[in-house]
Amino acid sequence: MALDFVGATDEHIRALNKVELHVHVEGAATPATVAELARRNGVDLGVAEPDDLYEFADLTDFLRVYDLVCRCLRTADDFRLVTYEALTIAYAAGVVYREMFFSPTFAMRYGVAFDTIWDGIRTGIRDAQTDHGITCRMILDIDKPSGPAAAAELVEFAASCDRDVLIGIGGDAGERGVDLAALAAPFAGARRLGFRTTMHLGEEGPVDDIRVGVDVLGVERVDHGFSLVDDADLVRRFADERIPITACPTSNRCIGLIESVADHPLLRLRDEGVLVTLNSDNAAMFRIDLADELVNVRDAFGCTLADLEDLALAGIEASWLDESTQRSTRRDFLTAMDRLRSERGLAPRPGGNA
């Protein structure tokens, strides 16, 4: 790919309309917010400076810190605060629509009721939409290592939530040693209830986990999907069936899965026809937002403005918006892209607004 940054300035990238599909509400709590919540709720963070909290050796170490952050969340207002903060970060990055994960198992381990968590989250979503105009829908992530019984219990909790806000069931936490096939029943139950499904797969686990996810669990989207490149046949299937991958290259670098963003296979997968989207994963914990992630990809791969616009448009197709809303959102994005180019004296998008 030619190194052509013409028009793809940091400012222009931030001004692009965006959709984000892989980000965790708990991971968007800033160090200052975590420090205040820890003080309020009597949690020892174990660091002298809050900024020192977000340093990770690997995925296991990251999950340890993630658990510590969740330990600081006790009340509905705590969850409202971090939800509002997460969406404020997204708004500043140009995100207009987000599908965001929450992981209730972490807080529930410390005695927080599911209803407390959900009340805070939906209030934070409402407040952010009022103040910023950003639209957010939620995905409940089951804790994969906790097994099928715990997953089924969370799906049951999900059934009572506002279905215009909670639209999907996902799965996160560690990948090693997890019997993924055992989660087939609760995921089938989620689909019977009308939920969309996705799962974190192929981040540190093998490509076979991705195959189990789509063939046995029936997930419609794969989060991370880093190891997909290890199976050429599966890559072709993902391309043919338009199964989306929600890639998070900076996240993968921060926990040591790759040396640099340039080592991430996202463009290799895209060039093979896979529907790849770009996401920040845990914005505050990795010190980025989605605009920063696009800049990191630009710098790593020499992406043109058109490449980055295409990544922004891919988020629409990969989303769980209905087809009519996807079409209208795409039209709005293309119109805004043309306006930004015109305001900056740039040529129209190659190929027009197709």
Judge whether 65 and 58 are in contact, CB under 8 Å: no
Which residue is listed with tokens 């093998």? 206
* 203 counts as catalytic: yes
192 CB-contact burial (10 Å; exposed 0-12 / middle 13-18 / buried 19+): exposed
Instruction: Put residue 162 in one of left, alpha, beta given phi > 0 → left and psi -120 to 50 → alpha.
Output: beta
At 225, the amino acid letter reads G
How many Å apart are CA 309 and CA 338, to the nearest integer? 11
β pairing state of 245-247 and 166-172: unpaired
Long-range contacts of 32-38 (CB under 8 A, 24+ apart): 33/81, 33/82, 33/85, 33/284, 34/69, 34/72, 37/72, 37/73, 37/74, 37/78, 37/81, 38/72
Distances (CA, A) of 154 to 209, 252, 311, 315, 321: 22, 27, 33, 27, 23
Q: Considering 203, 204, 293, 309, which one is annotated as catalytic?
A: 203
SS3 content of the chain, % helix, strand, coil (to 5): 55, 15, 30
User: What tokens does 283 get?
Assistant: 């914005």
Catalytic residue positions? 203
